[in-house]
Structure 1
């Protein structure tokens, strides 16, 4: 399941870094033509690649962020949080056209709304260097959009002996692609949530979606929010419930889940332990506003 060479233990996490503007403490959601006010706003480093990397580093795994960062004021304002995360930034590609890259998140109890802007290309100039990194053992792709822009990414990682994981991440323009699964060839661990799995497979029932996905991926960890998560691996299917906690913000919980699962999987733990560790990490994430805020990045 994992590489035996213990000198190779690090994770590369590839994807876009966003400046997240997170509004909480609202009396309702915005409607056209009316202004409402939020009690709180947090400005945090976001994007699945960074959040996953921060939680993976928090778990004690050497993890490097493989991404691009703009040179504009919003992007540069994230430098402190990125540096404080204990994530290795040696492969961070700084370029003017890579920003500003922003997500506005509006959170009101169980309602969430997002508005994002992507900037520049997804492929960092440091990609080849990162894949040659002697410590690298695993590549995590934080969103299918990155794989769509770099279609040879999985094959390149596998050629260097790395295992690969993929979180599809919701993208309305890509999630319903009929060739979605074919474009994921070679991925070892697939990490969707139930809505993404339903869109990809056409199956709204988690076990049926897992059955369909199992024909493509060796391991599928399916995130089901307050219902916990499911795991399909080697013909076995497991479910692990979520622990009830006070939920502040679910932003980044799926990426924290990914970190918990990958860290445990790379350590060679059994399926139940991998799933339990993943749910625990995701549960930690929902208890603060912002994807990695609870880690004090």
Structure 2
């Protein structure tokens, strides 16, 4: 396993609820009926941990839930999937949830309850820093966790790198599109690999187009992989820009697509030792397979390999 002991997933854990397809935004005071719904463990950290566990990765989750029955249900679902939840904390607050409305064409609108998230710190720092050298630490949902800011995540990432751990960041979208760019740049200075989507890349860099954003990221981090939905992903590394396409498909809903990609990409890159571009191709295919499942199921390694082999 290329000397990698484990994948440590830090971030937001919540319940994912959703309904679709809703063709038009409802008039206030009325009701719209969807044709399908979702109810599952989610949040960027939850999705990433579940997707990684399905690939056989030893996953250690550093997150939190509320002290309510919903939090207990989420922990049981993760443990049953093979995720190590011993570092997950129960906080005296309701468990967070996110409700998505999917519109025709795949566009989504999200409504979220912060729940326990404002009270969640970066996790058990001592335990994280004791992970064997070569382990990967991915922080998810940065913008949803206020206690990660003011230098908290930056200091943790700095300590991780001093101990030979790989630091990975997926910020997610900031509520209202507002964030402190200078503060985020300081976190990125301690980040080995940045995994935004296309819209997040433009927002973070302030660039008017994706191309400008990709060029801008090259000056910020050693490497970045930018997820571009139905267009695949982009690799940015030391002045090099490479596009990795995805096979066209029509998933019913795409909540958690980026998280499924993150888990599979990190597995391929650091557990299987693939080069950057083949690892991105593996992640793209794993995410595609996850989105085509109903109900949601994250693929195992052999499923992804077979699917890629059929098109080779």
TM-score, with normalisation over the residues of structure 2?
0.84
Matched residue, 2:306: none
Task: Give me the whole-angstrom Cα distance separating, in 1, the residues matched to 2:102 and 2:177.
Answer: 25
Equivalent residues of 1:214, 1:232 under 8 A apart:
yes
Q: Counterparts in 2 of 1:42-53, with a 5 A limit?
A: 42-53=38-49
Counterpart Cα distance in 2 of 1:276 and 1:171: 27
CA 204–277 in structure 1, closer or farther in 2 if over 3 Å, else same: farther
8 A contact 1:68–1:124 mirrored in 2: no
User: Structure 1 residue 14: deviation in Å?
Assistant: 0.3
237, 240, 249: which one aligns with 1:245: 249
Kindly state the Cα deviation for residue 288 of structure 1 after the two structures are TM-superposed: 4.2
Q: Which runs of 5+ in 1 are unaligned?
A: none
Which residue in 2 is equivalent to 1:161? 164
Q: CA deviation at 1:289?
A: 6.3
Asked if residue 223 in structure 1 is aligned to residue 227 in structure 2, the reply is yes
Deviation at 1:125, TM superposition (A): 5.2
Unpaired segments of 5 or more residues in structure 2? 300-312
Query: How much does 1:171 deviate?
Result: 0.8
Deviations 1:106-138 (A, max 9, x none): 112223111112224221653322332348701
Matched, 1:272 2:266: no
SS in 2 for 1:77: helix
Q: 2: CA distance between counterparts of 1:231 and 1:202?
A: 19
Give 1:153 deviation, angstroms: 2.2
Q: Is 1:172 equivalent to 2:175 in the alignment?
A: yes
Deviation at 1:259, TM superposition (A): 1.1
Is the CA contact (8 Å cut-off) linking 2:11 and 2:142 kept in structure 1? no
More helix by proportion, 1 or 2? 2
Matching of residue 107 in structure 1 with residue 110 in structure 2: no
Contact 1:175 1:196 in 2 (8 A): no
How do residues 121-200 of structure 1 correspond to structure 2 at under 5 angstroms?
Answer: 121-123=119-121, 126-134=124-132, 137-145=135-143, 146=145, 147-148=148-149, 150-151=152-153, 152-172=155-175, 175-179=178-182, 180-200=184-204
Residues 175, 200 of structure 1: 8 Å contact kept: no
Equivalences for residues 89-100 of structure 1 within 5 A: 89-97=85-93, 99-100=94-95
What residue in structure 1 maps to residue 61 of structure 2?
65
Judged with a 3 Å threshold, the aligned counterparts in structure 2 of structure 1 residues 204 and 224 are, in CA distance, closer, same or farther, namely farther
RMSD: 2.3
Per-residue deviation at 1:173?
5.2
